[in-house]
Amino acid sequence: MNKFIRPISLYKKILSRNPFILLMLAISIFYVCILFYSYILDDRYFHPGSALTLSSFFIQCGIFTFGLLGIYLDRNHKKHEFILYRNTVYLYLGKISFISLVIITFCSFLAILFFILIRIKGLTVSPFYIDSFMYILVYWVVVFLIAFLIGIILSMLIPSLIVYFISIFICFFIGPVNYRLLDNRIAELLNLGQRENDQFYHPLYGYLIENEEISKRLFILCFLIVIFLLIQLYHHKKMYKAIVIPLLFSLGFTVVTSHQFLINNQHEQKINLGLDPNGEVIKDYRFYESHVNANIKKLNNQREYFTPLNYKIRFNTDKGFLQSKVSIKFQIEKVKEELKINLYHGFRINTITLNNTKVNFTRKGDIISIPIDKHKDINELMIDYEGKSSPLFYANSRAIFLPSNFAWIPSFNLTPSLQIHEGYFHRNYSQNTGNVEYEIEYLGSMKIFTNLDKKDSNTYRKSTTEGVSIISGDIMEVNLSSSTIYIARTWERGLKEYSSFRKFLNKVVQEVNMTFNKKIEIPKKIFIIPTTGIYDEAFIEDIWTFSDHWLIGYPLYTSFHDKSLLNKEHLINSLVPALTWKNDGIYRENLLMVTLFDACFSNWLGHQIGFHNDDYLNYTLDSLSSYYKNRKEVTQVLYKLKALKKEEFKQVDRIFFTNWYDMLKTEQNDWIVLEELIDKYNNNHKKRGG
């Protein structure tokens, strides 16, 4: 034991005599403290998870520091005492143990500081604390130890001073800044820091510590240990028995972790926070740009032929992707040779059976066509499928976001889940619209939340017209008044303003009901969650309102302090499309008209309930005028709307928007009819002496 302990004392003395290393560690601590202050203590930017996810500079600095430290300690122990141990395995084991202790102590100090600060700011003790610890372990402790081992191994193999430059070169390419010089795919493969390291923490998904990220770092760590032990074995053949056993163990772990990494890399779904030009987001964009059938109304005429009755869904996400078996009972209203169903194209279909007989099928885009040769009054369709979900709707072992507007289960509604409009994704409603009984059985290990009613520990059932939403992740359930609120854990401070938030929702719903003769009620289940951060800058993408649950999305970068929940501008501009044309399932290939309607009506509605903000309306009118300046029919309408706005837009009669909305439901020439509607309103207004 003395042979193992004494070298640790040696390295402690060597390290204390190097001001450069100590300065680097001090700078790193100072930088992290700035992050902690900015994203934890400062309410203007309160976003506690981002205090860790935006630490890429710290991680890169740590990689450089511990890589150089490995070389420095290896070179300088020869200048000090304990010459007896300079070429022994004990010396190197003491060296690794000492630096491991330094790294753990260094990171533990910052971790304890982090936990104290978020507790002071009122975040209750929850799994978020454990996940934060895991992030520090995976992205700080293990990565710094890898950098140190690289430094030692380079020092053992390269005797000249050029080893320092080689170490800096390698540490650059395995750090989070490598994307500045490398192709995105290569940079992500080599990077030991967090991928997409300039992105905010995702409050629902949590930290980016998927199984692939963990197995990659463990593989590299085990591989370096194998190299280190092989070098030791080469120099100390007399210690063969002491080295060969840990060498075999390390080699075994290297094989296991490499196999696990390859499997996870191929199959596990990872959330996308940025727009990698070679990534899944761009692939989906190109797919929907070329595969969406424009004649959706004609496709959906099949609804008069088939009526879904009930669904039984068994699914699991523990392997990092969705595995699902769905049994559908449906009724044939009129004889038809072919059944078409809608299912996201990214899922691989294993088998389809109709009335217990395996059938062939064809697939074009999201549409699956199944021949019907023999049928009964009540038929049963069984579909076994698996694979990665859309990057906009993720499902893996860390989190699930499968809302009921997305075709993650086979649907008789053939509206595409996504469409491309003016270079952006738009999310459509793609699940069944009639009343259907759904039963789901979740076979995974996470706690899930859904719009269905819970029957036992993993089974949920309900008859609904709104499809099925499944949400899981870093989320908490809170009962307030007569509602159940599901909110991201790091956003819990926002619930202090829930009473005002609820009153505001009531006012908006009341105005919408009065204007469009609706009977919308706020449901008991409300999900308050972050958006994906992918093509959801537009207000029309952020909120979905269904009869049995609402999905209220806020941008993932939102600073959620005590006053954040009641963001009136965001709520009113996002609720208007959610409560009107999205709620009614109106599908439009061109979203220009509904975007204009949303901006005008939300501005008018805001004035009715005491919220005065013209920014969104002004931006919409100006941007459309600039973008469509060569389309005369559009510019004429925009000119007249601007004139109407100058004459106190808030005083426009409610009936104007009622008529406009009725027009949106028709097949008429939108711009001509809208211009006539504006002219008619102006004429009537003048006759009344307005």
176-233: pLDDT as tens digits: 888 777 877 788 888 998 877 778 899 999 999 999 999 999 999 999 999 988 888 8
| pLDDT of amino acid 274 | 64
Classify residue 579: in a domain, yes or no: no
Side-chain half-sphere exposure of 27, counting CA atoms within 13 A: 14
Does position 361 have pLDDT exceeding 80, yes or no?
yes
Classify residue 585: in a domain, yes or no: no
Classify residue 518: in a domain, yes or no: no
Q: Which of 656, 541, 553, 667 is nearest to 601 (CA)?
A: 656
Amino acid of residue 516: F
Classify residue 202: in a domain, yes or no: yes
| 3-state secondary structure (DSSP) of residue 461 | strand
Number of domains present in the structure of the chain: 3
Question: How far separated are the first and last CA of the chain, in Å rounded?
Answer: 96
Judgement on whether residues 171 and 284 belong to the same structural domain of the protein:
no
| pLDDT of amino acid 110 | 92
Q: Report d(CA 508, CA 610) in Å as an integer.
A: 11
Name the more confident of 43 and 117: 117
Domain stop point among 208, 229, 248 = 208
In this predicted model, what pLDDT tens digit does every residue of 435-461 receive, in sequence order? Answer: 999 999 999 999 999 999 999 889 999
Judgement on whether residues 179 and 304 belong to the same structural domain of the protein:
no
pTM of this prediction?
A: 0.90
Average pLDDT estimate for 395-408: 94
Judgement on whether residues 316 and 434 belong to the same structural domain of the protein:
yes
Average pLDDT estimate for 572-580: 95
| 3-state secondary structure (DSSP) of residue 478 | strand
Judgement on whether residues 305 and 174 belong to the same structural domain of the protein:
no
Classify residue 514: in a domain, yes or no: no
Whether 75 and 229 have beta carbons less than 8 Å apart is answered as: no
Structure token pair of residue 225 = 């240990």
Structure token pair of residue 423 = 């270079």
Judgement on whether residues 291 and 430 belong to the same structural domain of the protein:
yes
Q: Which residues of 664-676 are buried (b: 16+ CB within 10 A; e: fewer)?
A: beeeeebbebbbe
Whether 485 and 498 have beta carbons less than 8 Å apart is answered as: yes
Q: Report d(CA 123, CA 201) in Å as an integer.
A: 16
Collect contacts of 215-219 with beta carbons under 8 A, ≥24 apart. Answer: 215/257, 215/260, 215/261, 215/264, 216/192, 216/261, 216/265, 217/138, 217/142, 217/143, 217/146, 217/192, 218/142, 218/253, 218/257, 219/254, 219/257, 219/258, 219/260, 219/261
Judgement on whether residues 289 and 191 belong to the same structural domain of the protein:
no
Q: Which of 364, 341, 362 is nearest to 290 (CA)?
A: 364
Judgement on whether residues 295 and 198 belong to the same structural domain of the protein:
no
Q: Report d(CA 89, CA 94) in Å as an integer.
A: 8
Average pLDDT estimate for 260-265: 91
Classify residue 280: in a domain, yes or no: yes
Instruction: Please count the helices (runs of H) and the strands (runs of E) in the chain.
Output: 20, 21
Average pLDDT estimate for 366-378: 84
Judgement on whether residues 278 and 201 belong to the same structural domain of the protein:
no
Judgement on whether residues 185 and 38 belong to the same structural domain of the protein:
yes
Judgement on whether residues 332 and 410 belong to the same structural domain of the protein:
yes
Share of the chain above pLDDT 70, in %: 89
Q: Which of 466, 338, 346, 352 is nearest to 418 (CA)?
A: 346
Average pLDDT estimate for 555-565: 86
Whether 572 and 611 have beta carbons less than 8 Å apart is answered as: yes
Q: For 335, list phi and psi in degrees, rounded to 5.
A: -65, 130
What's 353's domain CATH number? 2.60.40
Domain stop point among 409, 431, 454 = 454
Kindly state the DSSP code that residue 608 receives in the 8-state scheme. Answer: H
Structure token pair of residue 287 = 């797919």
Share of the chain above pLDDT 90, in %: 47
List the domain range (segments joined by +) for residue 393. Answer: 273-454
Domain stop point among 454, 482, 510 = 454
| 3-state secondary structure (DSSP) of residue 373 | coil
| pLDDT of amino acid 222 | 94
Whether 644 and 680 have beta carbons less than 8 Å apart is answered as: no
Residue 287's Cβ-count burial label (10 Å; 0-12, 13-18, 19+) is middle
Q: How far is CA 498 from CA 256, 283, 521, 575, in A?
A: 49, 39, 17, 17
Classify residue 37: in a domain, yes or no: yes
- Widest CA span in the chain: 107
Judgement on whether residues 189 and 322 belong to the same structural domain of the protein:
no
Classify residue 520: in a domain, yes or no: no
What's the helix, strand, coil split of the chain in %, to 5? 50, 15, 30
Q: Report d(CA 690, CA 687) in Å as an integer.
A: 7
Q: Report d(CA 186, CA 68) in Å as an integer.
A: 24
Judgement on whether residues 286 and 191 belong to the same structural domain of the protein:
no
Amino acid of residue 487: I
Q: In what order do the strands lie in the sheet with 449-450?
A: 400-402, 470-472, 449-450
How many other β-carbons are positioned within 10 Å of the β-carbon of residue 127? 15
